[in-house]
Amino acid sequence: MAKNKLLQPFVKWAGGKRQLLETIRLYIPKFTTYFEPFVGGGAVLFDIQPKKAVVNDINSELISAYKVIRDDIDELIKHLSAHKNEKEYFYALRELDRTPGYKAWSSVQRASRLIYLNKTCYNGLFRVNNQGQFNVPFGNYKSPNIVNEVVLRAAHHYLSTSDIKFRNTDFAEAVADAKRGDFVYLDPPYDPVSDTAYFTGYSLDGFGREEQARLKRVVDDLDERGCKVLLSNSSTDFIRDLYKGYKIITVKASRAINSDSSRRGKVDEILVMNYGE
């Protein structure tokens, strides 16, 4: 079946893989069910376009937005169309998750808010504080594409016509039922390449080296189960040592989201896999 070229992420997400898709495509194996425990903006999911998949993210608002796009696309587009690209409006909407009434919002309202804030905030960066509240400043863009109807409807068509299960849980639980012949793509928060590069704001849970080591144990378990596993991470000595014994390929990637402009160049990242020659 031909792929839908209009299918692409509906939000910009830290660590997104759009720039590495051409490389990742070279290593996609044949599989039964596709698993992605750290789906984020879904660049790889929307590029592969599997007919059967289990996708997960620890961010409950993001997973809810995927479900809204699948189930309530017309209402979402209608709600998005009412937003204004104004600083005062932005901050009023951003502050709402600090209020008790926010919990009573519908899933459509919350998805619309997430997409709007993502399109209009500075650098399109999703970040929350330790209370789980969105805290990125206004981007002050002249004409942000708040309602990208073509992309949203392409995502709706794919998600509503394919067998896609959504989960909002720990990565280990997300792949608990993966079995022989299934393909698992892992794109965790990267091991920091410097002390100042540590980014944990995408969720309330930090992802330090203990979590990296726990993820490695999950990879070992998936390998023993006969699953095909592909993992992306930074090319640090720690990660390379952790995955000794697996096939490791070095790739060049641009870091678009980084507060330090001197670190926004081409850097080494790695792909780790348990298949291929």
3-state SS, one letter per residue, for the chain: CCCCCCCCCCCCCCCCCHHHHHHHHCCCCCCCCEEECCCCCCHHHHHHCCCEEEEECCCHHHHHHHHHHHHCHHHHHHHHCCCCCCHHHHHHHHHHHHCHHHHHCCHHHHHHHHHHHHHHEHHHCCCECCCCCECCCECCCCCCCCCCHHHHHHHHHHHHHCEEEEECCCHHHHCCCCCCCCEEEECCCCCCCCHHHCCCCCCCCCCCHHHHHHHHHHHHHHHHHCCEEEEEEECCHHHHHHCCCCEEEEEEEECCCCCCHHHCCEEEEEEEECCCC
**Residue-range definition of the domain harbouring residue 80:** 66-149
pLDDT at 124 (0 to 100): 87
Say if residue 218 is in the same domain as residue 91: no
Query: Using an 8 Å Cβ cutoff, are 256 and 267 in contact?
Result: no
In a domain, 10, yes or no: no
Say if residue 241 is in the same domain as residue 115: no
pLDDT at 200 (0 to 100): 45
Say if residue 108 is in the same domain as residue 199: no
Indicate which CATH number applies to the domain containing 242.
3.40.50.150
Handedness of CA 275, 247, 219, 63 (dihedral sign): negative
* Res. 201: pLDDT tops 60: no
Q: How many CB atoms lie within 10 A of CB 128?
A: 18
pLDDT at 195 (0 to 100): 56
Say if residue 235 is in the same domain as residue 265: yes
* Res. 136: pLDDT tops 50: yes
In a domain, 156, yes or no: no
In a domain, 2, yes or no: no
Kindly report, residue by residue over 9-19, the tens digit of the pLDDT: 999 887 778 78
Give the number of domains in the chain. 2
Kindly report, residue by residue over 26-54, the tens digit of the pLDDT: 999 999 999 999 999 999 999 999 999 99
In a domain, 6, yes or no: no
Kindly report, residue by residue over 70-95, the tens digit of the pLDDT: 999 999 999 999 999 999 999 999 99
Of the three residues 124, 149, 174, the one that is the final residue of a domain is 149
Average pLDDT in the 56-78 region? 97
Single-letter amino acid, residue 113: R
Say if residue 260 is in the same domain as residue 193: yes
- The set of residues, in sequence order, having a beta carbon less than 8 Å from that of 107 and lying 6+ positions away, is 64, 67, 68, 72
Say if residue 136 is in the same domain as residue 119: yes
Say if residue 136 is in the same domain as residue 79: yes
In a domain, 134, yes or no: yes
Say if residue 75 is in the same domain as residue 46: no
**Could you tell me which residues are beta bridge partners of residue 234?**
269
Say if residue 264 is in the same domain as residue 176: yes
In a domain, 35, yes or no: yes
Of the three residues 105, 126, 149, the one that is the final residue of a domain is 149
Kindly report, residue by residue over 209-261, the tens digit of the pLDDT: 999 999 999 999 999 999 999 999 999 999 999 999 999 999 988 765 444 55
Of the three residues 121, 149, 177, the one that is the final residue of a domain is 149
Assigned token pair, 65: 């937005």
In a domain, 223, yes or no: yes
Say if residue 249 is in the same domain as residue 176: yes
Say if residue 168 is in the same domain as residue 142: no
In a domain, 158, yes or no: no
Say if residue 260 is in the same domain as residue 169: yes
Mean pLDDT, the chain, as a whole number? Answer: 90
Indicate which CATH number applies to the domain containing 79.
1.10.1020.10
